[in-house]
Amino acid sequence: MGAVAYAPKVVTIWEGFKAWFRDNGVEFDFILYSNYERQVEAQFDGTIALAWNSPLAWVRADRMARARGQQVRALAMRDSDCDLTSVLVTRADAAGGAGSLAALAGKVIGFGAIDSPQANLIPLDHLRQNGMLAWTNFEARRFDVLGGKHGDHIGGERDAALALMAGEIDAAWMIDSNHMAFSREGVLPAGATRIVARTAPFDHCNFTVSPGAPEEQIARIGPLLMAMSWDDPEVRPLLELEGLRAWVPGRTSGYDALVRATDDERFYTREGAILANDYRY
């Protein structure tokens, strides 16, 4: 399996899963990648049979597979990957009562990293669907952190939140869970911000099965994941580290807005080639 090393805890997480799978009769190992682009490419050269992919990595893998007459599939995802939203936040004391999208016309809106689904691509799509285009209706300021990690590190969202409170930007996008986390941390003090827009629900990561993966082994991994119980004292620490209470069957219906944004922002071609000129990973 491939996974991206977006934080030190990733090693602990997958070492734990490796031991658990082996204890349950499935030989399992993992390779860590510095970025999702390399990981997705490894799904097509026989290196990895399975990848823990970001939603944007799924979009690329699906496009590359279709272009080759092949198929990838979403095996499983966390319960916490389903039906998420991102929010556009302003300061509660913003001059001019910037409490709506219309009031942000001509203002500076902050986004996460260029490759962040939740803090850049999907928010840009939401604004576009509401008649607001970057550099036409508002100025976009992107907080690029750790390109290639697809926003998993949340650093760009935190930097945007800090810039908002410092008065450097007029609004900032972030996933809803980070908005709450930043409030707990004091980055966004209680009562200091308000939400002026929210995206439609979308999904996040999934286990993506590579073309040509050994079906007998994959067929065993899915049921094992679904059988992991929060009430099992051996399993619960692994679930807590990976941020879920239960695994659910993979689905791809929650990626529609991201697929549209990938095209509109010219991030990937229909064949999965990288188009974004200022993307560094």
CATH of residue 243: 3.40.190.10
Residue 281: inside a domain, yes or no? no
Say what the pLDDT of residue 94 is. Answer: 76
Using pLDDT thresholds of 50, 70 and 90, give the confidence band for residue 153. Answer: confident
Same-domain check for residues 182 and 215: no
Note down the domain range covering 158: 86-198
Q: Is residue 233 part of a domain?
A: yes
Reported as a single tens digit per residue, the pLDDT across 70-124 is 999 999 999 999 999 999 999 998 765 466 898 999 999 999 999 999 999 999 9
For the beta sheet containing 50-53, the strands, ordered from the edge strand earlier in sequence to the opposite edge, are: 31-33, 2-4, 50-53, 206-209, 73-78, 247-249
Does any domain span residue 276? no
Which pLDDT value is given to residue 93? 86
- Number of domains observed in the structure of the chain: 2
Asked, for residue 278, whether it belongs to a domain, the answer is no
pLDDT score of 99? 67
Q: Give phi and psi for 114, each to the nearest 5.
A: -55, -30
Q: List Cβ neighbours of 105 (8 Å cut-off, separation of 6 or more).
A: 132, 137, 138
Domain boundary among the residues 176, 198, 220 is at 198
Answer yes or no: do 103 and 77 share one domain: no
For residues 19 and 63, membership in a common domain is answered with: yes
Same domain? 190 vs 118 = yes
Q: Looking at 141, 176, 198, which one is the last position of a domain? A: 198
Tell me the HSE value of 249 on the side-chain side, using a 13 A CA sphere.
3
Q: Looking at the structure, do residues 69 and 91 belong to the same domain, yes or no?
A: no
Is the predicted pLDDT of residue 62 greater than 80, yes or no? yes
The percentage of residues in the chain with a pLDDT greater than 70, rounded to a whole number, is 98
Examine the domain organization and report whether 180 and 216 are in the same domain. no
The residue among 154 and 87 whose pLDDT is bigger is 87
Of 102 and 59, the one with more pLDDT:
59
Region 171-199: mean pLDDT is 94
Which amino acid is it at 164?
L
| Inside any domain, residue 69 | yes
Residue 124 domain flag: yes
pLDDT in tens, 6-18: 999 999 999 999 9
Residue 248: strand, helix, or coil: strand
* Structural domain contains residue 274: no
More confident residue, 153 or 23: 23
Nearest to 195 by CA among 178, 217, 212: 178
Q: Are 142 and 120 in contact (CB under 8 A)?
A: yes
Q: Note whether 94 and 130 are same-domain residues.
A: yes
Mean pLDDT of 205-215: 97
140 domain-assigned: yes
Q: In this structure, are 182 and 243 located in the same domain? A: no
**Mean per-residue pLDDT of the chain:** 95
* Whole-number pLDDT of residue 96: 52
Predicted local distance difference test score (pLDDT) of residue 100? 81
pLDDT for position 190: 87
- The reply to whether 178 and 191 lie within a common domain is yes
The mean-pLDDT minimum among 41-55, 64-78, 89-103, 223-237 falls in 89-103
Buried b (16+ CB within 10 A) or exposed e, 97-107: ebeebebbeeb
Alpha carbon 92 to its chain centroid, in Å, reads 28
Residue 111 and residue 58 share a domain: no
Tokens of 97: 């009562």
Could you tell me if 190 and 94 lie in one domain?
Answer: yes
State in Å, rounded, how far the first CA of the chain is from the last one: 21
Q: Across residues 37-57, what is the average pLDDT?
A: 98
In the chain, the percentage of residues whose pLDDT exceeds 90 is: 93
The whole-number average pLDDT for the span 132-158 is 94
Kindly give the interhelix angle for 55-67 and 256-264, rounded to the nearest 10 degrees. Answer: 70
Last residue of a domain, one of 198, 229, 250: 198
Give the side-chain half-sphere CA count within 13 A for 149. 18
Query: Does one domain contain both 98 and 191?
Result: yes
